[in-house]
Amino acid sequence: MRVHPLPLLFLIALGVISSTQASTLSSFTSSTVASSSSMAAVPAANQAGLLLKVQEAIKAGLPDKALADTVKSEVSHAMGADSEPDSLKEMHDGIVYKFLVNGEWRKSTSGRTISNLTPYDETICYEVQACTREEIDEAYATAHAAQRVWAKTPIWKRAELLHKAATVLRQYAALIATPVLREVGKNRKSAYDEVVRTAELLDFAAEEGVRINGEVMSSDAWVGQKRNKLAIVERVPVGVVLCIPPFNYPINLCGSKIGPALIAGNAVVVKTPTQGAVSTLHLGAAFKIAGAPPGLVNVVTGKGSEIGDYLVQHPGANLISFTGGATGIDVSKKAGMVPLQMELGGKDACIVLPDADLELASTAIVKGGFSYSGQRCTAVKIVFATAEIADALLEKVLAKLAKLTIGHPEENADITAVINKKSADYIESLVMDAESKGATLTTPYKRVGNLIHPLIIDHVKENMKLHWEEPFGPVLPFVRVGDAAEAVTLANKSSMGLQGCVFTQDINRAILVANELAAGTIQINGPPARGPDHFPFTGFKDSGIGAQGIKYSIESMSKVKSFVINLPEAAHPQGH
């Protein structure tokens, strides 16, 4: 089949294929379109139809100009309109997404965008705005203006907005799952579940928020004092919360910040992760569609290296809620006099004692270690198996691991490509380091692009990086220890302390081991997990500052203010 240079140019312009793909084409067929970066902005339901139309147009042997026009019109038709409501359509022109400030979707005056690549084929799926400092100033300014009104809005009305946003998320869950799949490579089912879980979280935050009350204190509890002072203690908003969610849950870990912030009477400025930006923008859209007042929820995009410092050091930020990696330590140093709520990853240990139910433990290790390809702060990051059961446990784990499916997120594979090449290279370097120092790869190491096959590495020792570092991928170190005490000592040596888990049928031993472990949450006979999202979520050591979990987040995102009534004489209300 002959090459059609003109339609190729159109397809490049539309972002359906990249110029590199075009230049390497020996012939142009509809399958080129299908396998290309492609289709980023075309809803899944329309893709097959689009391919058919392109195929027909090529077969018809139209002149170049007519073919180009036909392809262009088919692509824009498929991009859209049929499934996407106007309220989401206004967020973007093709694959170019706008940012949200003062209730408006805008392109940046910088005139620059940042390309967002899919993890699985590293082609451009979206372009997001490179926001300027002036635009960030405006986001903070409109947030402060909106917050002053919002703080005077009855709590039941704030709750109503959260419930409406939850309804919007449910209504468009399938559409909103698509960017999660494309940008961060989460399989379709998990992407969809993330949207629904966020709707549930917003509902719960609304319900929890209406029951947050202060207290009344009296002076006569203090030695020598009379009961002539009453303190009315209330929780008041902090002002504007800067929310910085991570790539791995670009909707849920943003909702877990916005929901509590808003119900407590704050406004927000959200800085999206680069991969995950379009997903997070959709959460902003849900609040806009739900009727959030302009400026209450602002979502800015851009490279952390360009605007990160400006955002966190901005006088408009009254609290920073950050979830991510070690960058958070840098953020905490730069932030200055503002409260921080931070969660920075973990090296979550799974300790399996000799009397453990190995069926249960092995299931938890595979689920805990390999869900979303291990790219979770609460993934099992290291297994400490006591000598008596190590072989039997490993055998069960490997049998279960072999059943995981490996492939494309659209096929709902269990193991999908990790977020980007840098991450895949890093994971590979940890594997090579461990192997070179004598660890045993229980299956051969296999990587195709950013897709790393799940791997347990046995006999990992303290001199190997994998013992201490977070791979954030489907590679799990297996360490053999003499007893629980040795496991706890090794686990405690980690600089992080997010979660941990202990498997034993002896609840007394479980509590004793859990008491010793330096981590915010210890799961007994279950894998580490953040959810259900109303449970507290705290990191010890380098894993974080402050507490999350809906009630705890509402408390973190509000501050105490008291009114003291000074009475002329002691007053003791009578109860009879």
Q: Is position 343 annotated as part of the catalytic site?
A: yes
CB of 437 to ligand NAG, least distance (A): 24
- Active-site entry in 194, 343, 469, 470: 343
CB of 384 to ligand NAG, least distance (A): 12
CB of 326 to ligand NAG, least distance (A): 21
CA 319 to chain CA mean position, Å: 19
Distance CA 8, CA 71 (A): 10
- For residue 268, give the 3-state DSSP assignment: strand
Nearer Cβ to ligand NAG, position 135 or 542?
A: 542
Q: Is 152 exposed, middle or buried (0-12, 13-18, 19+ CB in 10 A)?
A: exposed
State residue 96 phi and psi, 5-degree precision: -90, 115
CB of 493 to ligand NAG, least distance (A): 8
Nearest to 13 by CA among 89, 124, 98, 109: 124
Please state the three-class secondary structure of 310-322 as a single string: HHHCCCCCCEEEE
Nearer Cβ to ligand NAG, position 286 or 353?
A: 353
Q: Given the structure tokens 């995981």, which residue do they identify?
A: 404
Please state the three-class secondary structure of 412-477 as a single string: CCCECCCCCHHHHHHHHHHHHHHHHCCCEECCCCCEECCEECCEEEECCCCCCHHHCCCCCCCEEE
Nearer Cβ to ligand NAG, position 115 or 492?
A: 492
DSSP label of 482: S
Nearer Cβ to ligand NAG, position 340 or 518?
A: 518
CB of 517 to ligand NAG, least distance (A): 7
CB of 518 to ligand NAG, least distance (A): 4
Q: Given the structure tokens 């809906």, which residue do they identify?
A: 550
Nearer Cβ to ligand NAG, position 87 or 489?
A: 489
DSSP label of 411: G
Gap between the terminal Cα atoms of the chain: 97
Sign for the CA dihedral angle at 318, 312, 372, 539 comes to negative
Report whether 246 contacts 183 (CB < 8 A).
no
Distance CA 299, CA 303 (A): 13
CA–CA distances in Å: residue 36 to residues 25, 30, 124 = 11, 10, 9
Nearer Cβ to ligand NAG, position 433 or 516?
A: 516
CB of 516 to ligand NAG, least distance (A): 4
Nearer Cβ to ligand NAG, position 317 or 484?
A: 484
Nearer Cβ to ligand NAG, position 487 or 557?
A: 487
| Mode of pairing for the β-strands spanning 382-386 and 475-481 | parallel
Which element (helix H / strand E) includes 229? strand 229-237
Report whether 517 contacts 380 (CB < 8 A).
no
Site residues, ligand NAG (CB under 6 A): 488-489, 492, 516, 518
CB of 488 to ligand NAG, least distance (A): 4
Active site amino acids: 343
